[in-house]
């Protein structure tokens, strides 16, 4: 049984990831930002026992190291945290749209800073804290980052999102090299469009059919498909995949 810390687990991909680890017999610390009821629903759905919730705005100074300390403390019976999944993100939404030709410099700056703080710098701090905990314990482990297809395909209306996800992929690759001597594998997944609660209105609206047709499968991805890959990448069997960025986009965007 491992201790697993999943960020952004109140719903969507984070909830599915937490569920996949709990189904595999692990104990899960689920960080969430503000949707307490949703987070409690995630916790209720997790099979097994010993799971917990941790509330934090990861964009606030000191939050990432506090989250890791709380998770390590709560999961101490099983050794602490063995796996970190960096899933939380300020994602594309009408509130975070910032096309260069339309927004003011003040709006542009605000979104760039918020997306960088939460989507990149918080993941870096969480990774530092979990890596040092694993190194101190002399224990192997895994970090899996949830990146995005947008890092490769471009995000014209959300350039800070695309840039932060590209940086997250690159950060994961640097960490894979740095942490391999300590037996810690670091990987990223790069999902295309996934049918989460956040995306439900888009999928039901006039854009829905176009989004489904981006993939030759004629559909979008499911949170469970992302979670299955994350769960595998965090397993000892996948240690040799360390450094990879796995495309999970139904062949909607092929990298060369
Ligand atoms: P979501 O908005 O439901 O999940 C994002 C999670 O991050 C939420 O639980 C939210 O509470 C958390 N979060 C946001 N700001 C935070 C903050 N300041 N502090 C702490 N937590 C914070 O969306 P989702 O679709 O489930 O996305 C999950 C991950 O998958 C994100 O990293 C997203 O970028 C990535 N992704 C999603 C899609 C998609 O189409 N759904 C595609 C590619 C990548």
pTM of the model: 0.98
Per-residue confidence (pLDDT) for residue 170, from 0 to 100: 98
Q: Which of 54, 57, 36 has the alpha carbon at shortest distance from 122?
A: 57
Per-residue confidence (pLDDT) for residue 79, from 0 to 100: 95
Q: What is the rounded distance in angstroms from the CA atom of residue 219 to the CA atom of residue 215?
A: 6
Which residues, listed in sequence order, are joined to residue 221 by a DSSP beta bridge?
194
Mean predicted confidence (pLDDT) in 130-152:
98
Mean predicted confidence (pLDDT) in 201-227:
96
pLDDT band at 256 (very low <50, low <70, confident <90, very high): confident
Does residue 143 contact residue 135 with C-beta atoms inside 8 Å?
no
List the residue whose alpha carbon is closest to atom 21 of ligand 1: 33
- Does the CB atom of residue 59 touch ligand 1 within 6 A? yes
pLDDT digits (tens, 9 = 90+) for 150-191: 999 999 999 999 999 999 999 999 999 999 999 999 999 999
pLDDT digits (tens, 9 = 90+) for 235-252: 999 999 999 999 999 999
Count of C-beta atoms within a 10 Å radius of residue 11: 18
Q: Is the pLDDT of residue 140 over 90?
A: yes
List the residue whose alpha carbon is closest to atom 27 of ligand 1: 13
SS3 annotation, the chain: CCEEEECCCCCHHHHHHHHHHHHCCCEEEEEECCCHHHHHHHHHHCCCCCCEEEECCCCCCCHHHHHHHHHHHHCHHHCCCCEEEECCCCCCCHHHCCCCCCCCHHHHHHHHHHHHHHHHHHHHHHHHHHHHHHHHHCCCEEEEEECCCHHHHCCCCCHHHHHHHHHHHHHHHHHHHHHHHHCEEEEEEEECCECCHHHHHHHHCCCHHHHHHCCCCCCCECHHHHHHHHHHHCCHHHHHHCCCEEEECCCCCCCC
Per-residue confidence (pLDDT) for residue 225, from 0 to 100: 98
Per-residue confidence (pLDDT) for residue 96, from 0 to 100: 97
161 is catalytic: yes
Does residue 246 contact residue 189 with C-beta atoms inside 8 Å?
yes
For the chain, which domains are there? Answer: 3-248 (3.40.50.720)
CA angle 26, 28, 29 (to 5 degrees): 160
181 alpha carbon to ligand 1 midpoint, in Å?
A: 31
- Does the CB atom of residue 32 touch ligand 1 within 6 A? yes
The pLDDT mean for the chain works out to 97
Per-residue confidence (pLDDT) for residue 34, from 0 to 100: 93
């Amino acid at each position: 049984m491992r201790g697993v810390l999943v960020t952004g687990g109140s719903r969507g991909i984070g909830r599915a990831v937490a569920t996949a680890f709990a189904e595999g017999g692990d104990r899960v610390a689920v960080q969430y930002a503000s949707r307490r009821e949703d987070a409690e629903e995630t916790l209720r759905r997790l099979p097994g026992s010993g799971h917990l919730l941790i509330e934090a705005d990861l964009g606030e100074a000191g939050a990432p190291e506090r989250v890791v300390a709380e998770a390590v403390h709560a999961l101490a019976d099983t050794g602490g945290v063995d796996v970190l999944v960096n899933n939380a993100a300020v994602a594309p939404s009408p509130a975070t749209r910032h096309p260069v030709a339309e927004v003011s410099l003040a709006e542009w700056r605000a979104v760039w800073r918020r997306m960088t703080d939460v989507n990149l710098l918080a993941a870096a701090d969480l990774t530092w804290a979990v890596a040092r905990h694993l190194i101190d314990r002399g224990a192997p482990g895994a970090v899996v980052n949830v990146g995005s297809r947008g890092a490769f395909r471009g995000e014209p209306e959300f350039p800070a999102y695309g840039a932060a996800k590209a940086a997250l992929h690159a950060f994961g690759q640097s960490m894979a090299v740095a942490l391999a001597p300590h037996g810690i594998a670091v990987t990223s997944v790069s999902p295309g469009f996934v049918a989460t609660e956040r995306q439900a209105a888009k999928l039901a609206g006039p854009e829905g059919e176009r989004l489904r047709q981006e993939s030759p499968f004629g559909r979008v991805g499911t949170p469970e498909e992302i979670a299955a890959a994350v769960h595998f990448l965090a397993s000892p069997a996948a240690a040799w995949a360390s450094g990879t960025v796995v495309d999970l986009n139904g062949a909607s965007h092929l990298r060369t």
